[in-house]
Structures are given as structure tokens and as C-alpha cells.
Amino acid sequence: MSVHAGQIIHVAGNNVIDRVQSAGLGDVRVPTEVIREVGNREVVDKVPGEPDFSFSIETFDVSTEPEAWLTGKVGTGLGSAAAPGATDPDGTEYKWSDCGFLNVASPWKDDKTGSAGVVQAGHLVAGYYPTRIRYRFGVSDNASQEIELSGGAFYYAGFPPVEEFFTGTGAQTAFDSSEDAVPHRIGGESGTTFRHVFGVIVDRVLQTEGTDYTVAIVGGNARVTFTVAPPSGKSVRFTYFANAARSFPQPVHASTLVKPGAVRGRNICVKINTSKLPGTQSAELEATVEGEVEREFCNDEIVGRTINGRDCTGTVTVRARDIARMLDLLAQITGVAPGEVFGWLNQHEVDLAIEIQNPKNPSQLLKTLVVDDAIFQVPGTPARVNAPTDFEMRWESKSGDFSVFKGARP
């Protein structure tokens, strides 16, 4: 029997990610360089290069739990009431520019045990950075968001993958794993040194072993000792494979009484300068990070990520019911009066908001995406025979940033 998607979940921020449609590593080929030499027609060696892997998640979850996790929030346990940001009040803002380093643990269930069962194996992506997020909304499609994380390593083992969390006191320097940590042989089968923990992060910043912390095995448990005590109130986290039985946390997925299974266009409102945009057929927002991994001598792990810039772009497609409404739309996005001529060049900034309602109570907003400096391009005229004309308007954020608010924007 093959490994089934129903056997795999993804735990991040001390909570199971809900409504996942697909998730996994992308191209994991490690680049290699062929080494040759003068006077020899044979290949001397093939040297592994420096990889930059990506891990993607597509989810129908329209709560603010993913954004809370991306910006460093940690839940208090497995369950929707204890998810990242669960206790944040309505109006809490999560900015794309506030994202930081993250870990994801993926337990794999023993398929011979029931709906809950035990963890038979697992997968860790540790010390990854959010490099892309994409929201897609269609009038008759399920709202979805794709999150892409980038990093330099990943691990498998026949043991439960675990991420543990602590809170700094400003004085405590040593933090112990709660279970025995399974060793990883650095360099492969011929390696003689071992690593027991991965993805050590303090307040969204990736830490470097040997510089920021050291690891010792005390009675089988891994003890992470920091050179400088993590500041009071700051999150401390790391991952490892536990040499102990763990239950598979399948039952903790939020029911539709807590959050909807999916949301369609009838419960999504696109607004420009607080006015609803009639005739909207689809909307998309994509935010990206441009950068590269940081490495150093005597270390096969990445030590950070250089951020060269961020950007936020997207599209809104509108089906205007008549010419007058199309002209009103052009006036909205350009700031030009309807009685004047609209040109092709537009530098007018508008406030773009996408509000997502609770389908079972439309007066309740689950979250609001906001780009307060969106600049739209004037659309073309893609007319086709025997079909209504849909005008696709591309936009971009002048600052390259956007925010997500829990519930309604204050």
C-alpha cells in the first residue's frame, strides 16, 4: 500500500495547519559540479553544490492562523482554540514584512492504526524563511492561499518529528528537549560528528550552532545552551526527532463549526477606497521576497537569509454591467473625473481591501487583506465573440508590502 496523503499532517507554530490541499518540497536536486583535471580524460569527482530548497503549502484556511504563524506567533497547544494568534483581538495586524524564520514538522501516521493512531515516521523542514504568499479568489472557486518557504536542508527519520517551544526569561540560557533526540550523522555514512537539533530560532531569527548556541546530550535529551540568554518574553524554538512514541494528532483539525471548510466568491468583498467593487469575478494577491541564503565556512547549514527586497502585486478582474459603470471603475482606480479622458499611465494610489466573511454568519469578517498604496494599470479591452467582457486590472503596491487584519480592519 502506498503512503497516502491522509497519513501526513503539517504541524507549525504548535498547531496543525488546517484545510491543506497540497504540501511538500519542490525540486530537491542538489546541484553538483563535475571536477576534471589536466592530463586526465576521466571525471575526478562530483562535488555537491549549495542547495536552496522550497517547501510549499496550499490551504483553504481563511482564518488568520497562517499569517499569525508566519509572523512568529506560537499557539499554546494542538487545537483551534490554542492556535497561533487565537487570543489576538479582532483588528490585530500581521504584516508581510514582519515574517521570520520558521520550522515545519510533518508526522506520518502508521496506516494500520485507526483515525488517530501513532506516528511511524516523519519529515522536518527546519530554519526556512517565507519567500512567497499568494491568495487567489474566484467568483465560483474556493478561496485559497499558497505559502512558500525556502531553506537549505530537510530531514527524514523513522521517528516522530517534534518542534518544541519555550519563552525566554532574560536569564535562562539552557533549554532541554522533552524526549531523547535521535542523532543525524553529518556528512552521510562516513561522518563521525552528529547533530541532534535543527532550526534553532529566537524571536524569528535563525541561530548558528557554535556561535549563538551549543548542544550537549544530557541523559539522552538535547540541551541547547545559548551564548546570550534569549530576551524575556521572546519565543525560543527548535526541532528534532524524538526517540519516543507519539500519538498522531489527527482529531485536532478544526471543525466547520470553528472555521469554514472553504469560502467562495459570494462571501468575499473587494473594495477600493472603502467602496465595494461591483462585478468582481476574481482577485489575486502575491507577495514575494527577493534574497539569498547566507552560509559560512565550517558549516553545512545555512546561517541566515539576506533580504534584498519585497514586493506585492496582483490582479482584480471585473465584469462591468454597462459602459457607465466601467467609466466609474476607471475613475476609482485613476482618480480622474468621469467627465475627463482616461489615459494609459496611472500613478494614483488607492486603498485596496479584500474582506472575507464567515459563510455561516456573513456579518462576521474572518480577515481583511489590505494594500493601502495599490497602483492599478488601466485595463485593455479583451473582447471575445459571444462572451461578456472581463477587464483584468493589474496592480502593485508602491511599498511592496501588505497587511492582514484579524476580522475587520480597525
Look at residue 251 and tell me if it is in a domain. no
Q: Are residues 281 and 398 in the same domain?
A: yes
Q: What is the pTM of this model?
A: 0.92
Look at residue 216 and tell me if it is in a domain. yes
Contact yes or no for 373/399 (Cβ under 8 A): yes
Q: Are residues 397 and 344 in the same domain?
A: yes
Segment (H or E) for 129: strand 119-138
C-alpha cell at 232: 524575556
Look at residue 389 and tell me if it is in a domain. yes
Task: Using the predicted structure, report yes or no on whether residue 192 has a pLDDT greater than 80.
Answer: yes
C-alpha cell at 150: 525556502
Q: Are residues 323 and 373 in the same domain?
A: yes
pLDDT in tens, 111-163: 776 556 788 899 999 999 999 999 999 999 999 999 999 999 999 999 999 99
Q: Are residues 232 and 278 in the same domain?
A: no
Look at residue 54 and tell me if it is in a domain. no
Q: What percent of the chain clears pLDDT 90, i.e. is strictly above it?
A: 69
Q: Are residues 177 and 295 in the same domain?
A: no
93: Cβ contacts below 8 Å, ≥ 6 apart = 403, 404, 405
pLDDT in tens, 314-371: 999 999 888 898 999 999 999 999 889 999 999 999 999 999 999 999 999 999 999 9
Q: Are residues 276 and 365 in the same domain?
A: yes
Q: Are residues 271 and 401 in the same domain?
A: yes
Segment (H or E) for 68: helix 65-70
pLDDT band at 38, cuts 50/70/90?
very high
Look at residue 14 and tell me if it is in a domain. no
As a whole number of angstroms, the distance between CA 46 and CA 51 comes to 15
As a whole number of angstroms, the distance between CA 378 and CA 382 comes to 13
Residue of 123, 293, 128, 300 lying closest to 199 (CA atoms) = 128
Q: Are residues 238 and 362 in the same domain?
A: no
Q: Are residues 240 and 270 in the same domain?
A: no
In this structure, what CATH number is given to the domain that contains residue 347? 2.40.30
Q: Are residues 189 and 317 in the same domain?
A: no
Q: Dihedral (C-alpha) 271, 65, 239, 11: value to the nearest 10 degrees?
A: -110
pLDDT band at 301, cuts 50/70/90?
confident
374: Cβ contacts below 8 Å, ≥ 6 apart = 349, 350, 351, 352, 395, 396, 397, 398
Query: Which structural domain, as residue segments, surrounds residue 372?
Result: 265-301+311-406
As a whole number of angstroms, the distance between CA 403 and CA 92 comes to 10
Q: Are residues 234 and 269 in the same domain?
A: no
